[in-house]
Chains A and B, each alone.
Chain A
Amino acid sequence: QQQVKQSPQSLIVQKGGISIINCAYENTAFDYFPWYQQFPGKGPALLIAIRPDVSEKKEGRFTISFNKSAKQFSLHIMDSQPGDSATYFCAARIFQAGTALIFGKGTTLSVSS
């Protein structure tokens, strides 16, 4: 119940295309769902996050779609650029319990020019 399942493991997208990464969870107590971006040799950095009281959140070219009934959420990167090439992690957390983030296994995105 503590797992967050992420797919695909790797993704190749052409410049200007849409990148879509999906995550699913089981624990309905999770109430905070962030996405992190990581470049090689660096620590992850928060990209965008959503709480379950909204179905979509958009920040620039990045959008989170959240489906509470299906227990799924996804990251959409519009107009993908070579600079977006990185590893993306979804995560979940029971905020009120002050617990640690549970991460998916990551998706390596390559945007070809």
Chain B
Amino acid sequence: DGGITQSPKYLFRKEGQNVTLSCEQNLNHDAMYWYRQDPGQGLRLIYYSQIVNDFQKGDIAEGYSVSREKKESFPLTVTSAQKNPTAFYLCASSPIAAGGTEAFFGQGTRLTVV
């Protein structure tokens, strides 16, 4: 089935560690996005990419890094510089050709710092 797969579903990180969240899509979408969700804060954009080997910072990019080496994959690394990483992380993708508007979301990764 076509869709977006995020893994793992739950992730625990010790303070000072970097962790990488996986996002893979088989929808042949050009654009991919990472959002962070905190209670009462909605979805805030971390990074997005419209094409392979190119990406842009969102509103809260500090302490995060991404790569886009393949069209299907857009992993997010939460670095030790992110001071409050405990949150629900959502990956999305969308086509950017004319008429393509809907963003499809994965099921999320819940990251907890222990």
Q: Which residues of A contact B (CB under 8 A)?
A: 6, 9, 32, 34, 36, 41-46, 49, 89, 93, 95, 98-106
Contacts and interface: CB of A to CB of B under 8 A. Distances in A.
Interface in B25-72: 31, 33, 35, 40-45, 48, 50, 58
A26 B43 CA distance: 18
Contacts of B41: 105
Contacts of A6: 42
Could you tell me the dominant secondary structure of chain B's interface residues? strand
Contacts of B103: 34, 46, 101
B113 interface: no
A89 to B, nearest CB: 6
A104 B40 contact: no
Interface of B: 4, 6, 31, 33, 35, 40-45, 48, 50, 58, 90, 92, 96, 101-108, 110
Contact of B43 (A42, A45, A89, A95): A89
Given A9-B40, A43-B107, A49-B101, 4 more contacts: A43-B90, A44-B43, A46-B102, A101-B33
A103 B101 contact: no
Contact of B45 (A34, A46, A100): A100
B57 to A, nearest CB: 11
